[in-house]
Amino acid sequence: MLNNESPAQNHARALFDLMVIGLAVAGLTIIHYTNYHYSVDYHILLQFAYYLPVIYAAMRFGPAGGILSSFVITLLFIPLMTHFQEALTPAAKYTQWVEVGLINVIGWLTGFLTEEERKAKRKYLLALTVQKELVEKLKREGQERERLEGEIRQTERITALGHMSAGLAHEIRNPLGIMKVSIQMLAQEKCDDGVVSEYCRVLLEECERLNRLLSEFLSFARPKELMPERIELGKLLAEGVSLIQPALLQNQIKLEQVPSQADLQEVDVDPDKLKQVILNILLNAIDAQGQGGVIRLKGIQQDGFAGFAVSDEGPGIPPEAMPYIYDPFFTTKERGTGLGLSVVHRIIDLHGGKISIMNGSERGVQVKILLPLV
C-alpha cells in the first residue's frame, strides 16, 4: 500500500489488520461450531460471511493475504461441511464445494487485482516524479541558456566597443600628453600668479583624470595576455586588502575579513589581474558606503570553484539599473567611468570564473567572485 506513513506506523497498522481479520474468521468459525444443531440453510447463509475477511485480507495484503486467508477458512470449515454431508442433497453438496472453491478464487483474484492496481499507482507516481524532474531540468536549462545568451551579447558589445576604443584612446593620449607638459611649463613660469597657478592645478587634475580614464579604456579594449600562477586564494586576498588600506582609513571604514576554508584553496590565476579585480570590487564598496560602517570580505567555495564575497552597507543598486551594470560606460556615480565592472567581468571571464552581484535583503550589495579550483 502506498502512503506517507512511517515504517513503524505501517507495521502497527498491519498487525491491527491481521488481528481484525483473525478475529473475524475466528468469530464466524465459533458461531458455526457452537450452533451446528441449527438447520443446514443457516450454516450455508453464514458461510457467505467468510467472503468479507477474505476480500479485506486480499485488498490489504495482496495475493498472499487473499490466498492464505481463504486456505485457512477452508481448513476450518471443511470438518463442519463434512458433518452435514448426509443431510444435504447432491445439488447442495456440489454447491458447498463450489462455495469453498469460490472463496479461494475470490481471495486470489481480489489480491491479484489489488496488486496490479498498486503497481499501476507506483508507475504513475514514478512517471509523475520523472515528469517533475524533467520540468525542473528544462527550467534550469532555460535559465542557463538565458544567462549564456546574455554573456554572448555582453561579449559582442565589449568586442565591438574594444576595437573602436583602442584606436580612439591612442589618438587622444598623444595630444593629452602635450597639453599636460604645456600646463606644467605654464605653471612654472607663472608660479607667482595665484590665479594662473590655481587654474593650472585644476587643469592638471583633469588631465590626470582623463589619463586614468584612457588607461581603463585601453585595459578594457586590449586586455593583456594572462600570466597564470598557482596561488592560495587567502594570500591573494591578503595582498589585495593591503593595497586598499589607505582608502579604508581615509573613509573610516572597517574591513571585516571572515576566515574560511576557501582561503586555503589554490587557484591558477594572473595575480596582477586578480588584484585589479579585488581592488575594483572593494573600491566600489567603499564608494557606495561613504563614511564609516563595515565592509565584509569572506572566502567561499561552490562546486569546483573557490572565490570571495564582498558585502557593503550602502544603498544598493536600483532594480532598473541591475541589467546594465556590466555594460561599458554605464554608471550611477557622478564621477564614475562605467568601466570598472566591465573590466572585472572580462578578467573573470578570461579566467573561466563567475561573477554575480545582488542587493542584500535589507541594504547594501553583495558581490561574489568564483574561480576554478586547481
**Cα–Cα distance measured from residue 347 to residue 349, given in angstroms and rounded to the nearest whole number:** 5
Q: What is the pTM of this model?
A: 0.49
Q: How far is CA 324 from CA 61, 96, 160, 219, 338, in A?
A: 63, 87, 17, 20, 10
> Which cell goes with 274?
586578480
* Owner of C-alpha cell 542584500: 360
Instruction: Read off the pLDDT band of 151 (50, 70, 90).
Output: confident
Q: Among candidates 244, 321, 320, which has minimal Cα distance to 283? A: 244
Please identify which residue in the block is written with the cell numbers 612654472. 188
Q: How far apart are CA 367 and CA 311, in angstroms?
A: 7
Which amino acid would we find at residue 225? E
Alpha-carbon distance of 307 to 368, in angstroms, equals 7
* Rounded mean pLDDT, 151-170: 68
The sheet with strand 354-359 has its strands ordered as: 254-258, 294-302, 305-311, 365-372, 354-359
User: How confident is the model over 89-137, as pLDDT tens digits?
Assistant: 676 667 677 777 888 888 888 889 888 888 899 999 999 999 999 999 9
CB 162 within 8 A of CB 220: yes
Give the C-alpha separation, 271 to 226, whole Å: 9
Query: How high is the pLDDT of residue 310?
Result: 94
Percent of the chain with pLDDT over 70: 83
Spatial distance between the Cα atoms of 360 and 319, rounded to a whole number of angstroms:
12
The 3-state DSSP class for residue 365 equals strand
What CATH number does domain 229-372 carry, 1.20.1330.10, 3.30.565.10, 3.40.50.261, 3.60.15.10? 3.30.565.10
Q: Distance between CA atoms of 233 and 274, rounded to whole angstroms?
A: 10
**In this model, does residue 356 exceed pLDDT 60?**
yes
pLDDT of residue 2: 46
Helix (H) or strand (E) holding 299: strand 294-302
Q: Is residue 19 over pLDDT 50?
A: yes
**Adjacent-strand bridge partners of 232:** 266
186-227 pLDDT, tens digit per residue, is 888 887 787 888 888 888 888 887 877 777 666 666 666 788
User: H or E stretch including 333?
Assistant: none
- The secondary structure element, H or E, covering residue 78 is helix 51-83
Assess whether pLDDT exceeds 70 at residue 170. no
Question: Where does residue 88 rank: exposed (0-12), middle (13-18), buried (19+ CB within 10 A)?
Answer: middle
Lowest mean pLDDT among 57-66, 165-174, 229-238, 347-356: 165-174
Rounded to an integer, what distance in angstroms lies between the CA atom of residue 302 and that of residue 356? 13
Classify each residue of 135-154 as buried b or exposed e, where b means 16 or more C-beta atoms within 10 Å of its C-beta: eeeeeeeeeeeeeeeeeeeb
Top pLDDT among 349 and 171 is at 349
Q: pLDDT of 244-253, one tens digit each?
A: 888 888 889 9
Residue 42 clears pLDDT 70, i.e. is over it: no
Determine the pLDDT at residue 312. Answer: 92
H runs (alpha helix) in 192-268 = 194-221, 233-250
Residue 131 burial (10 A CB sphere; 0-12, 13-18, 19+)? exposed
Give the mean model confidence (pLDDT) for residues 251-277.
90
Q: Which of 308, 313, 299 is nearest to 253 (CA)?
A: 313
Tell me the backbone φ, ψ of residue 318, rounded to 5 degrees: -55, 140
Min mean pLDDT across 145-149, 154-158, 218-222 is at 218-222
The pairing of beta strand 305-311 with beta strand 294-302: antiparallel
Domain ranges of the chain: 7-135, 158-221, 229-372
**Which residue in this structure is represented by grid cell 502506498?**
2
Relative to beta strand 266-269, strand 365-372 is unpaired
Mean pLDDT of the chain: 82
Residue-level pLDDT at 1: 46
* pLDDT average, residue stretch 268-277: 89
